[in-house]
Amino acid sequence: MVSRHFLGRYLGQEKGPLLVAIGAMHGNEPAGVKGIELILKMLEVEPITHPEFIFRGRFIGILGNPVAYQRRMRFIDVDMNRHWQVSRIRQQIQQPEQPKLVEERAILNVLHLIHEEIRNYQPTEVVLLDLHTTSSTGGIFSIAGDDPTSQNLAVELPAPVILGLADELKGTLLQYVKSIKLDVPVRTISFEAGHHTDPLSVNRCIAALTCCMRAIGCVGQNDVESQHMRVLLDQAEGLPKLTRLVYRHSIRPEDQFVMQPNYSNFKIIRQGEIIAHDSKGAVPSPFDGRILLPLYQKQGDDGFFIVQDIPV
């Protein structure tokens, strides 16, 4: 049911962009959902406490995978954020009688919500912010779509930006949105807010949402309290502003992949360093760089990534 995905909506006093925030595309990542719910409440009371407050545009919050979210699992049948292939979705829309996996039904429901909002509101542009958390500790970061407008928006969030990752991960929502034709301009960002169970990950999701609203003109510069910027700046302190993906270590269940302990996002690693083991033995790093998204959970197709700093 589409209603299980709907978290809430806020309509501003003036016309503007449509900001679509999605939480729990992976069901074991609750921070995005909680952040969306809290910011919806904050928006409702803001005009009461500050009568001069003006919101331009419309904001909608969506729960990506409600079945997996209820069970606190990354996914039920397939990884939802690797299953957004245009040809597969088109076939499912054309053949609605075919049985579908849990995540396939969720994708169609999320698409229905987004298209309904666009049709009903006719926004000046669509901005999609996909909120995630990780199984490892360490710094926050954002992943932008492969277009310059999305990358420029990602830079507005005070967090490291990873280039190349959106292209490497196949079947993501970011890739799908950029490959279909919409009648309005679209910008896409994925934001990683920290560890799954860290209570501060919720605060970082709220901060990312408020900073994004400011960057796209939904709220004014003075409407975003400095504390939200500080939440992100503190977590990103000492991290590179811009990095590029140089390696992805893909895995399968039969690989019996196990990370070595104590690796966190952006930890510096050296070529040849043993960072994991699998059924074939030790897994050395093929490059110098920084490790990203080391896998410390049972479900997943990516063991780890390696990024390298880009001077700015």
With CA atoms as reference, report the closest residue to 273 among 260, 292, 257, 258: 260
Residues 119 and 257 in one domain: no
| Pairwise CA distance, residues 160 & 139, whole Å | 8
Using DSSP's 3-state secondary structure scheme, residue 188 falls into strand
| Percent of all residues in the chain with a pLDDT value above 70, rounded to a whole number | 98
Pairwise pLDDT comparison (147 vs 86), residue with the higher score: 86
**pLDDT (tens digit per residue) in 276-307:** 999 999 999 999 999 999 999 888 889 999 99
**Is the pLDDT reported for residue 262 higher than 70?**
yes
* CATH number of the domain to which 203 belongs: 3.40.630.10
Based on the fold, state whether residues 171 and 209 are members of the same structural domain. yes
Q: Which of 51-55, 134-138, 250-254, 283-287 ranks highest by mean pLDDT?
A: 283-287
Instruction: Check residues 15 and 50 and name the one with the higher pLDDT.
Output: 15
Residue 223 has pLDDT above 90, yes or no: no
| C-alpha–C-alpha distance, residues 260 and 142, integer Å | 25
Mean pLDDT along residues 114-140: 92
Note whether 57 and 167 are same-domain residues. Answer: yes
* Number of alpha carbons in the 13 Å side-chain half-sphere of residue 235: 28
Tally of domains within the chain: 2
End residue of a domain, out of 236, 271, 288: 236
Residues 227 and 151 in one domain: yes
Q: Name the DSSP letter for residue 122.
A: -
24 and 103 within one domain: yes
Mark whether 87 and 122 lie in a shared domain. Answer: yes
Asked if residue 304 and residue 188 are part of one domain, the reply reads: no
Domain carrying residue 270:
243-309
pTM of the model: 0.91
What integer is the mean pLDDT of 157-163? 91
